[in-house]
Amino acid sequence: MGVKAFGANSPLVQSLMQTNALAKDRVLVIIYLNGGNDGLNTVIPLDQYTQYGNLRSNIAIPQASVLPIGDGSTGLHPSMTGLRELHNNKKLAVVHSVSYPTPSYSHFRATDIWMTATDSAVQADTGWAGRYLENRFDNYPIPPITDRDNSSAVMEDPLAIQIGYLTSTTVLGSSQSMAVAINDPQTYAALVGGGVGATTTDLPCCEAGDLVSFIRQQQALAVGYSTEITNAHNAGNITPTPVYPTGNSIADQLKIVARLVGGGLKTKVYFLSIGGFDTHSSQVVSTDKATGSHASLLGRLSAGIKAFQDDLQVRGIEDKVAGFTFSEFGRRANSNSSAGTDHGVAAPMFVFGSNIKRQSVGRNPNIGGYSNLPTDLNGTVGNQDLKMQIDFRRIYWDILTDWFGRSKTEAASLFLNKSFDTVSLFTDEVCTIKTGNWHDEKTWSCGRVPFTSENIRICAGHTVTLSANASAKNLQNFGNLIMGAGVNLVVKGI
């Protein structure tokens, strides 16, 4: 066994340095799958197809229709050809079984937890991205707004833009939203075309009136930024015109984002949404289970993200944009008698972009196919949930630290004084997060045993025991590695 040292000019070190180099210019796109997505029909455990079929015989996707990814043990829904292509091109990560401790089955409370990034027992009035933006930019929304990440340069563009009728807590600051709101592509077209929507004062009573007033304030901010948005829209016009699918609401939203980013708008966060994922019944067509309402939603999502990523590549800006999908919860592992699924716990997330370094975080949930692993099913027969593998805040943590360049101290403050382990989404190394056995998935940041193609770091203070043969692309050992008798570790080198 050998441990390789790296010089300052090595590709690995250069990549790690670049992780934070351009953080001030980076953009995040958040796509909310409203309703609670059925993760087990989105990312399908082909290595346990028999058990999968037994859990949901009336909605199971035919094995021959599933799109294999990676080593073939995992597959995507057959409608997601676009995301399969991105995964093959190393521009998509599948994060398995994402949730949080003591999860809620309520749409409203669960959504609030995901958007505020708090513990389930903690209430917060601010969103996790809103806190980041408020921390980074001073004086918003009163000019001059300055960017402390960019030598206090004046920020003249919207900090965040949300598209859609949902008002997202994600971008809520301590006194107001940090985002401007665009209801839909038609509203956007009117804005950049010089039109101004009508304003009325006849607000309904009480909470409904407060909500309408809040949305109108965000719309008014959009009008206030209309010159900047219009300039970026005009500058983002390219020939040939990027091709997006029609009749696809999420593609329409992503098309706007690509054009604005391509036109030089400095907005940091875009919040988009697509509804319809609360599939309690009839989520598949009984005569062709690869089709149906859920298939249509996943197809639109996949086609929209693929067109968006292609657009960014043509514009030469894909290295500055990353995005992810989330839903307030997953669905039960077992289907119900109405050819649907009820509220559950864990579900996969997708993270997309050209800077993604992992194609998988975590592993397929163990739904009965592996006797050597603890089961990932929880509950009684007929009411079984998928257990959490990855806390969603670990993905947010990597976005704040490795994508936006926050220090760990700053990130902990933005998470209301809580810290989380990395999942190594944006770094070339898989690292230890605790002392443990090499072949124990909980030892590693990626939530699984490292692949032989990955760079590995044993962090200071951690002891890793190797009790069976293993291999790695490279190894940096700042802790302690204990080798069992007769065990070999092959380090391939760059």
Domain limits, the chain: 23-425, 436-491
Residue 198 — φ and ψ, nearest 5°?
-70, 145
How many Å apart are CA 33 and CA 301, to the nearest integer? Answer: 9
Provide the pLDDT for residue 194. Answer: 61
Mean pLDDT in order along the chain per 10 residues (494 residues): 41 44 83 98 98 98 98 98 98 98 97 98 97 95 91 93 84 93 78 56 55 52 79 94 97 96 97 97 97 98 98 97 98 98 98 97 97 93 95 98 97 97 97 98 97 97 97 97 96 82
Q: Which tokens in the block code for residue 368?
A: 């009965």
Provide the pLDDT for residue 141. Answer: 86
Provide the pLDDT for residue 368. Answer: 96
How many Å apart are CA 28 and CA 321, to the nearest integer? Answer: 6
Contacts 24+ apart (CB under 8 A), 409-418: 410/135, 413/135, 414/128, 414/131, 414/132, 414/135, 415/117, 415/128, 416/118, 416/122, 416/124, 418/119, 418/393
How many Å apart are CA 252 and CA 264, to the nearest integer? Answer: 19
Collapse the DSSP code of 479 into the 3-class scheme (helix H, G, I; strand E, B; otherwise coil) and give the result: coil
Provide the pLDDT for residue 2. Answer: 36
How many Å apart are CA 494 and CA 485, to the nearest integer? Answer: 27
Provide the pLDDT for residue 270. Answer: 98
Looking at this protein, which amino acid is placed at residue 359? Q
Number of neighbours of residue 240 by Cβ within 10 angstroms: 6
Beta-ladder partners of 324: 30, 351
Query: Which residue's entry shows tokens 């008002």?
Result: 167
